[in-house]
Structure 1
Amino acid sequence: MTVLAMMWEARAVEGRGAELLEWARAQQLGREPLRRETLRASGDRVLVITWWEAPGTDADLPELPEPAADLITRPVHRWRFESLG
């Protein structure tokens, strides 16, 4: 088994960072990850990192969806990282 860290990052429309943060925190995944952490940064950006035990880096895992288009300034960025221990 592999441990994957999946990163989801979005940038809110100016002044709506708190709303995007609240939206991201409210999103349920299809199952519980090993760990989930939510962070914010300047520029009304929100980052959610989830850790999963998976059979490989291309495993089918639940991900946060795209927020409503009027809440974000661009499409969500997503990355997967394999833990090297």
Structure 2
Amino acid sequence: MTLAQMWEARAAEGRGGELHRWVHEAALPALRGSAGLARTEVFTAAGDRVLLITWWTAEPVPVPDPPAELLARPAHRWSFTSNHVE
């Protein structure tokens, strides 16, 4: 079974680049080496949003919270179970 965990945050005005760097410099290193981590992928979108998707073969480890001053609102988190892959 594969679990996907999605984490999405909207940066404070003009701080999208800093939030993106934080994901690469803090969040991803905090997850690396976690049991069951199979894959990570980072996306950016309009509105200074950053999306991190992690795939797990074991119980997912939560993405740490970024510094509050980087955020326009609290990060959103969703977990999914993979049902079909082509």
Bin the TM-score by the shorter chain.
Answer: 0.7 to 0.9
Identical amino acids, percent of aligned pairs: 52
Matched AA of 1:8: W
TM-score w.r.t. length of structure 2: 0.84
Give distance in 2, aligned partners of 1:31 and 1:80: 17
Q: Which has a greater percent of helix?
A: 2
- Note the aligned Cα RMSD (angstroms): 1.3
Structure 2: gaps (5+ residues): none
| Structure-2 separation of matches of 1:15 and 1:67 | 16
What TM-score results when the alignment is normalised by the length of structure 1?
A: 0.85
Structure 1 residue 47: Cα displacement: 0.2
2:21 equivalent in structure 1: 22
Unpaired runs of at least 5, structure 1: none
Aligned length: 79
| Separation of aligned partners in 1, 2:9 and 2:65 | 9
Q: Deviations over 1:42-84 (max 9, x none)?
A: 0000000000013xxxx3x212111111110111100001000
| Deviant stretches of 4+, over 3 Å | none
**Corresponding residue for 1:31?**
34
